[in-house]
C-alpha cells in the first residue's frame, strides 16, 4: 500500500539498520519515544478522499459501522474512521467485494424504506431504528461482511486507514509496543512479589 | 554469496529450507559438501517482519481472511480436501506450512518439546489399535538423544532441565534459562498445584538471553504466525541458515518451485527440475537429494516424480508414499479471569503440563497429550472468534466484551495424539492444478475415533484446570474433526521393513540409494502434536549419517 507516512516497520528498520542489540538496549527509551512520535504523526494525518465508496454510500457505511461498534463512554467505529478502512479495503485486498457493497447498500436502503417509509436513508434513522434495521438483516451475507470489515477496521494497524489514533487498540487494552518487560500482567506481578 | 552451476552435479540438493532442510544444509556444508537448497518461498530477513495482523492468513475458521505472506498461497497452490476416499475432494485450504527460507520455523510458536521415550515404542507397549497403523519407530529415544541435545545447543533453546518429572533423560541441560513466567503460567502453576499435577517452564526455541551473537527476546508478543524481527526466535532462518552460508559451500536458491526429482535409467537420482521465479524450468544436477519439503509437499513431490522405473511415483514401490497422514489434533477450553493477564505480551506460553502425556488404558482408548495456556489470538482474531459464546455479535454488548475481556481471557490448549490411519493421505488431485500446471495436493483426512475421545478427555482437563485456576467464567472448545493442519506428519514413514515403510532408519529411501527424506513425513507416530523439535533432531541425526555414508562412498550417484 502506498502510504503518505512512514509505517511502523519502516521506522523500525531505519532505526535498527546497522545497529547492535547492545546499543539498542541502551538507547531503547529514546528509540521508543521517537517511534511513538512517528506513530502519532502517522495517525494524525487527515483522511484521504474515498476511492470506491461515493460520499452517500460512505455515510451509510459509517452509520451502520457505528451501530456494530457504537460510541458510548468510549469512542466506537465512527470515531475510529472504520469507513476509511472499508473504502481502502475495497480498492486493495478486498477489491472483489465491491459488488457486495454496491448490492448490500441497495438492499439496506430497501429494508429501511420497508420498515420506516418516512426516513428514506439508514443514516437518517434514530439510533433505535437503526438497530432494528440491522437486527432485520443481521443474518445476511452483507451484514456479515460489514461486521467483519468493521472489526478489522477497528483493530487492524492504523496504516490501513481505520483504528484512528489506535482507538480500537486502546479500547481492548492492546499497547502495540515492540518491547515489553516483565511483569506483564496482574498474576505474574503478584507472583514476583511473593518470590 | 556462493553460487553453483545447474549443469554441474553438486554433492547434495536439499529440497526445502525449513526446520529440517536448514539443519541438513548446515550440517552437510559444514562437513565439506557442496549444497544447493531449493526453496519455493522468498528469502525474507528479520527486517521484513512486522506485527500486521492482516498479513497473517487465518485458516482455522471461516472467512479465512488475511494474506499468505509467510505460508503457502492457496490462490496459487490450491488443496482439495475430503474426509474419506469415497468422497469427491473439494477445493479447501486444508494444509498450511511455512513458505519462505526458514519454513514453518519462522512463524511457529516455538514450543520445543522433546518426544518422550514412549513415543518411539507405543505399538510394543500399547498393542495394536483397531483401524490404525500404530507402529514402533526404527529408532529409540536413546538413539535420538544426542541429536536433541545438538539441536537445542545449535539452534538456541530456553528451558529448565529436570523441571518436569516426566522429562526423558537428557545428556545436557538447556543452553538458556526459561523465559519469564507470564500470568498464564502463574495460573497454570496454581491450577496444577491444586490438582496435584506438575507444570514446568515451557521449553521454547526462543532466546531468553543473547546467544551466539543473536539478540534475546524483547517480549513483543508476535511469535505465532509472525517472523521474529529481533532474530530471537531460533528459526532455521535465524540460526542454521547463516551458518550454512558462512561455509561458502551452500547456496540458498529461493523462489525455486520444485516440480520433479529426476532419476536415471538405473533408478538413481540425477537432479531436480524446478521453476524459477519467472516460471522458467530449470534443472539442477545433483549426486544425491535430501527431500525436506514437509509432511505434505514431500509425498506430493514423490508422487509427481513418476517415471518408467517408478510408475507410481518415486520411492513408492510399496504404495505407502503419502499414507498415514497425521494432522493437528487439539482441544481446549477458554476462561475469563478477574484481573488483567496482558497475555498479548511476550512469548505465547510459559508453562506446560505433561501429566497426561502417556496413553492410559484406564481411559478406555489410545491417546495422550500435553497442555499449555495462552491467549491464543491477536486483536482482530479475538473479536471474531474468541469471545464467549453468549456474547452479542455486535452493538453495545459486543463492544463491552471487547473492552473487558481481551486482557482477561485465557485458553488452556491441549496438544494431542493423531493416530496414523492408512486411508488418511496426501495424493494428487485428478482434476485441480496449481498455478504451475502441476496436479494439486489432495488431502484425505478423518480422525480415528480414539482421537475424538481423546479430545473430549482433554477438554474436560482444560475445564478442570480453568476452574482450579479461579476462572470467573469458562467454556469448552467442543471436540471437532480436524480438517486443517499446520503439523504435517507420517506420509513417508521410516522403518526397518521395506514393505511397511518408505525410508530406512537413516532416512534413505528403500527404493532409491541416493535419495533421503527427512521432515515431518518421516514420523511413525505423531508425538503430542508438537513436532518441530523432533523434526530437527531427526535432521541432525540424518545429516550426520548421510555425511558419514558420503565420505565412505556408500551413496552411489548417477554419474
Q: Which residues contact B349 (CB under 8 A, 6 or more apart)?
A: B109, B111, B182, B184, B185, B202, B204, B372, B373, B374
Q: Tell me which of A22-31, A101-110, A119-128, B199-208 is least confident.
A: A22-31
Residues of A in contact with B65 (CB under 8 A): 148, 152
Q: In chain A, whose CA is at the least distance from the CA of B395?
A: A68
Please judge whether B340 and A186 are an interchain contact, meaning their C-beta atoms are less than 8 angstroms apart. yes
Residues of B in contact with A24 (CB under 8 A): 215
Residues of A in contact with B397 (CB under 8 A): none
Q: State the pLDDT at residue A112.
A: 98
Report residue B254: phi and psi, to 5°. Answer: -80, 170
Q: State the pLDDT at residue A27.
A: 43
Q: State the pLDDT at residue B162.
A: 95
Please judge whether A188 and B219 are an interchain contact, meaning their C-beta atoms are less than 8 angstroms apart. no
pLDDT band per the 50, 70, 90 thresholds, residue A119: confident
The interface residues of chain A toward chain B in range 69-98, judged by CB-CB distance below 8 A, are: 69-70, 72, 74, 76, 93
Q: State the pLDDT at residue A33.
A: 45
Question: B56-90 burial string, b = 16+ CB within 10 Å, else e?
Answer: bbbbeeeeebbebbbbbbbeebbbbbbbeeeeebe
Q: Tell me which of A32-36, A149-153, B42-46, B413-417 is least confident.
A: A32-36
Distance CA B423, CA B420 (A): 9
**What is the mean predicted confidence (pLDDT) over A21-28?**
43
Q: State the pLDDT at residue A57.
A: 97
Residues of B in contact with A187 (CB under 8 A): 183, 186-187, 337, 339, 341
Nearest to B341 among A24, A152, A186 (CB): A186
Nearest to A186 among B183, B382, B402 (CB): B183
Q: State the pLDDT at residue A48.
A: 63
Give the start-to-end residue ranges of the domains of chain A. Answer: 1-45, 55-172
Q: 3-state class of B410 per DSSP?
A: strand
pLDDT at A61 over 50: yes
Are the C-beta atoms of residues B230 and B217 closer than 8 Å to each other?
yes
Please judge whether B219 and A147 are an interchain contact, meaning their C-beta atoms are less than 8 angstroms apart. no
Residues of A in contact with B219 (CB under 8 A): 179-182, 184
pLDDT band per the 50, 70, 90 thresholds, residue A47: low
pLDDT at A16 over 50: no
Question: B197-220 burial string, b = 16+ CB within 10 Å, else e?
Answer: bbbbbbbbbbbbeebeebbbbbbb
Please judge whether A148 and B384 are an interchain contact, meaning their C-beta atoms are less than 8 angstroms apart. yes
pLDDT at A12 over 60: no
Residue scoring higher pLDDT (A18 or B434): B434
* A27 contact B CB<8A: no
Q: For each of chain B's 559 residues, which pLDDT tens digit applies? A: 899 999 999 999 999 999 999 999 999 999 999 999 999 999 999 999 999 999 888 887 778 888 889 999 999 999 999 999 999 999 999 999 999 999 999 999 999 999 999 999 999 999 999 999 999 999 999 999 999 999 999 999 999 999 999 999 999 999 999 999 999 999 999 999 999 999 999 999 999 999 999 999 999 999 999 999 999 999 999 999 999 999 999 999 999 999 999 999 999 999 999 999 999 999 999 999 999 999 999 999 999 999 999 999 999 999 999 999 999 999 999 999 999 999 999 999 999 999 999 999 999 999 999 999 999 899 999 999 999 999 999 999 999 999 999 999 999 999 999 999 999 999 999 999 999 999 999 999 999 999 999 999 999 999 999 999 999 999 998 888 999 999 999 999 999 999 999 999 999 999 999 999 999 999 999 999 999 999 999 999 999 999 999 999 999 999 7
Question: B412-429 burial string, b = 16+ CB within 10 Å, else e?
Answer: bbbbbbbbbbebbbbbbb
Nearest to B47 among A16, A155, A169 (CB): A16
Q: How far is A118 from chain B (nearest CA, A)?
A: 25
Please judge whether B395 and A154 are an interchain contact, meaning their C-beta atoms are less than 8 angstroms apart. no
Amino acid at each position: 500500500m502506498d502510504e503518505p507516512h512512514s509505517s511502523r516497520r519502516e521506522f523500525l528498520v531505519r532505526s535498527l539498520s546497522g545497529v547492535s542489540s547492545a546499543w539498542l538496549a541502551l538507547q531503547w527509551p529514546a528509540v521508543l519515544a521517537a517511534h511513538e512520535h512517528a506513530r502519532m504523526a502517522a495517525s494524525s494525518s487527515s483522511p484521504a478522499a474515498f476511492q470506491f465508496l461515493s460520499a452517500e454510500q460512505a455515510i451509510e457505511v459509517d452509520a451502520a459501522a457505528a451501530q456494530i461498534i457504537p460510541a458510548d463512554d468510549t469512542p466506537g467505529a465512527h470515531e475510529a474512521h472504520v469507513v476509511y478502512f472499508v473504502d481502502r479495503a475495497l480498492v486493495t485486498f478486498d477489491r472483489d467485494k465491491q459488488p457486495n457493497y454496491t448490492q448490500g447498500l441497495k438492499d439496506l436502503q430497501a429494508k429501511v424504506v420497508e420498515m420506516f417509509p418516512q426516513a428514506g436513508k439508514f443514516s437518517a434513522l434514530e439510533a433505535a431504528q437503526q438497530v432494528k434495521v440491522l437486527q432485520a438483516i443481521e443474518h445476511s451475507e452483507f451484514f456479515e461482511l460489514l461486521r467483519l470489515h468493521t472489526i478489522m477496521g477497528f483493530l487492524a494497524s492504523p496504516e490501513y486507514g481505520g483504528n484512528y489514533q489506535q482507538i480500537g487498540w486502546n479500547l481492548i487494552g492492546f499497547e502495540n509496543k515492540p518491547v515489553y518487560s516483565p511483569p506483564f500482567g496482574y498474576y505474574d506481578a503478584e507472583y514476583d512479589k511473593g518470590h | 554469496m556462493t553460487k553453483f552451476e545447474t549443469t554441474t552435479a553438486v554433492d547434495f540438493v536439499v529440497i526445502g529450507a525449513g526446520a529440517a532442510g536448514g539443519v541438513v544444509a548446515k550440517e552437510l556444508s559444514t562437513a565439506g559438501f557442496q549444497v544447493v537448497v531449493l526453496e519455493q518461498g522468498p528469502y525474507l530477513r528479520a527486517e521484513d517482519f512486522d506485527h500486521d495482523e492482516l498479513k497473517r492468513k487465518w485458516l482455522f475458521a471461516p472467512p479465512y481472511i488475511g494474506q499468505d505472506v509467510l505460508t503457502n498461497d492457496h490462490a496459487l497452490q490450491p488443496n482439495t480436501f475430503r474426509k474419506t476416499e469415497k468422497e469427491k475432494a473439494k477445493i479447501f485450504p486444508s494444509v498450511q506450512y511455512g513458505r519462505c527460507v526458514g519454513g514453518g520455523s519462522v512463524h511457529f510458536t516455538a514450543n520445543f518439546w522433546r518426544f518422550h521415550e514412549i513415543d518411539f515404542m507405543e505399538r510394543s507397549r500399547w498393542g495394536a489399535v483397531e483401524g490404525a497403523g500404530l507402529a514402533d519407530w526404527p529408532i529409540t529415544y536413546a538413539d535420538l538423544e544426542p541429536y536433541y541435545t545438538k539441536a537445542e545447543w545449535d539452534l538456541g533453546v530456553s528451558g529448565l532441565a529436570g523441571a518436569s518429572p516426566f522429562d526423558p533423560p537428557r545428556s545436557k541441560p538447556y543452553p538458556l534459562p526459561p523465559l519469564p513466567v507470564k500470568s498464564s503460567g502463574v495460573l497454570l502453576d496454581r491450577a496444577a498445584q491444586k490438582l496435584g499435577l506438575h507444570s514446568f517452564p515451557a521449553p521454547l526455541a526462543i532466546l531468553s538471553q543473547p546467544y551466539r551473537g543473536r539478540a534475546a527476546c524483547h517480549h513483543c508478543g508476535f511469535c505465532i504466525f509472525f517472523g521474529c524481527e529481533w532474530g530471537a526466535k531460533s528459526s532455521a532462518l535465524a540460526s542454521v541458515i547463516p551458518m550454512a552460508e558462512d561455509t561458502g559451500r551452500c547456496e540458498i536458491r529461493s523462489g525455486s518451485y520444485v516440480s520433479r526429482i529426476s532419476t536415471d535409467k538405473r533408478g538413481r537420482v540425477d537432479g531436480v527440475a524446478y521453476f524459477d521465479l519467472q516460471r522458467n524450468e530449470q534443472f539442477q544436477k545433483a549426486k544425491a537429494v535430501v527431500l525436506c519439503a514437509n509432511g505434505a509437499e514431500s509425498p506430493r513431490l514423490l508422487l509427481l516424480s513418476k517415471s518408467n522405473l517408478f510408475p507410481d511415483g518415486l520411492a513408492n514401490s510399496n504404495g505407502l508414499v503419502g499414507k498415514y497422514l497425521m494432522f493437528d489434533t487439539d482441544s481446549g477450553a477458554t476462561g475469563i479471569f478477574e484481573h488483567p493477564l496482558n497475555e498479548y505480551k511476550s512469548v505465547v506460553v510459559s508453562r506446560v503440563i505433561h501429566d497426561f502425556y502417556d496413553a492410559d488404558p484406564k481411559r478406555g482408548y489410545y491417546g495422550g497429550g500435553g497442555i499449555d495456556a495462552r491467549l491464543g489470538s491477536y486483536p482482530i482474531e479475538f473479536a471474531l472468534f474468541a469471545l464467549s459464546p453468549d456474547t452479542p455479535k455486535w452493538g453495545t454488548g459486543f463492544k463491552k466484551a471487547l473492552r473487558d475481556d481481551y486482557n482477561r481471557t485465557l485458553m488452556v490448549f491441549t496438544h494431542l495424539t493423531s493416530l496414523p490411519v492408512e486411508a488418511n493421505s496426501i495424493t494428487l488431485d485428478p482434476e485441480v492444478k496449481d498455478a504451475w500446471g502441476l496436479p494439486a495436493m489432495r488431502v484425505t483426512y478423518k480422525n480415528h475415533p480414539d482421537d475424538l475421545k481423546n479430545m473430549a478427555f482433554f477438554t474436560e482437563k482444560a475445564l478442570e484446570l480453568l476452574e482450579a485456576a479461579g476462572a470467573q467464567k469458562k467454556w469448552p472448545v467442543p471436540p471437532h474433526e480436524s480438517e486443517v493442519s499446520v503439523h504435517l506428519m507420517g506420509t513417508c514413514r521410516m522403518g526397518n521393513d521395506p514393505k511397511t515403510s518408505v525410508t530406512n532408519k537413516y532416512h534413505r529411501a528403500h527404493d532409491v540409494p541416493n535419495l533421503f527424506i527427512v521432515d515431518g513425513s518421516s514420523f511413525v507416530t505423531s508425538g503430542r502434536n508438537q513436532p518441530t523439535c523432533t523434526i530437527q533432531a531427526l535432521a541432525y541425526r540424518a545429516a550426520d549419517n548421510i555425511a558419514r555414508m558420503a565420505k565412505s562412498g556408500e551413496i552411489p550417484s548417477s554419474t
